[in-house]
Chain A
Amino acid sequence: GAGVSQTPSNKVTEKGKYVELRCDPISGHTALYWYRQSLGQGPEFLIYFQGTGAADDSGLPNDRFFAVRPEGSVSTLKIQRTERGDSAVYLCASSLGQGASPLHFGNGTRLTVT
């Protein structure tokens, strides 16, 4: 079946603008994760969902970042008042959410804030 789909693949925005990044997980995967990866670093945990609810949002850096998953499938990561330091690759992953299920990653969205 289809893998994790992220759109857009690239996003360039100006400082101060609002952006939305979309993730469509593998069908049937109840857990969905957002990570942020900067060059030369490992993926940095932001938030993960079990179903519709955010099970852990402790990685969101500040209140400019928000994520939703209203129907337990597609998720949107929203960033307000973007800053140059937000530039990174935003990775979405999904898993079965049971026991020790491995994560399956999308291709990421490369966000550039100018």
Chain B
Amino acid sequence: QKEVEQNSGPLSVPEGAIASLNCTYSDRVSQSFFWYRQYSGKSPELIMSIYSNGDKEDGRFTAQLNKASQYVSLLIRDSQPSDSATYLCAVDISGGYQKVTFGTGTKLQVIP
């Protein structure tokens, strides 16, 4: 079982819709969770971080964390074509010792 799992996609949504991206992780000691966006040929850039159960909102982005289910998600409201990218879920699987492991990423396509 991979430590951090994501559906590779592609996930296609129409412009203006809500895009929902999901991630599961295997280690219950994980404490810190991150979503990165990566455009083709570019490096990952941080979108959101979340550390506590529940929702965290930042503009059009909402991260959701459920530690009991070992599940973290990212919602993108009012999706725009510029949101088309690969979204990487990253987890500190070392329980706070800063070993950050990435999933394979979900490719999102927002159709105009």
Enumerate chain A interface residues (CB-CB to B < 8 A). Answer: 31, 33, 35, 40-45, 48, 50, 55-56, 91, 95, 97, 99-108
Contacts and interface: CB of A to CB of B under 8 A. Distances in A.
Contacts of A108: 43
Nearest to B105: A42
Contacts of B51: 100
If over half of B's interface residues share one DSSP class (helix, strand or loop), that class is named, otherwise mixed; here it is loop
A97 B92 CA distance: 12
Contact of B43 (A55, A56, A91): A91
List the 10 closest pairs (A to B, CB-CB), nearest first.
A100-B32, A42-B102, A105-B43, A42-B104, A43-B102, A102-B46, A42-B105, A56-B99, A42-B103, A105-B44
Contacts of A103: 34, 44, 46, 90, 100
Nearest to A33: B100
Interface size class of B (residues with CB under 8 A): 20 to 34
Interface of B: 4, 6, 8, 31-32, 34, 42-46, 49, 51, 88, 90, 92, 94, 96-105
Given A42-B104, A91-B43, A105-B45, A100 B92 contact: yes
A103 B44 CA distance: 9
Nearest to B102: A42
Nearest to A95: B98
Given A44-B102, A102-B46, 9 more contacts: A42-B4, A42-B6, A50-B98, A100-B31, A102-B49, A103-B44, A103-B46, A105-B43, A105-B44
A45 B102 contact: yes
Contacts of A56: 94, 97, 99
Given A100-B31, A100-B32, A102-B49, A48 B98 contact: yes
Contacts of A33: 100
B32 to A, nearest CB: 4
The residue among B6, B42, B88, B102 with the most chain A CB atoms within 10 A of its own CB is B102
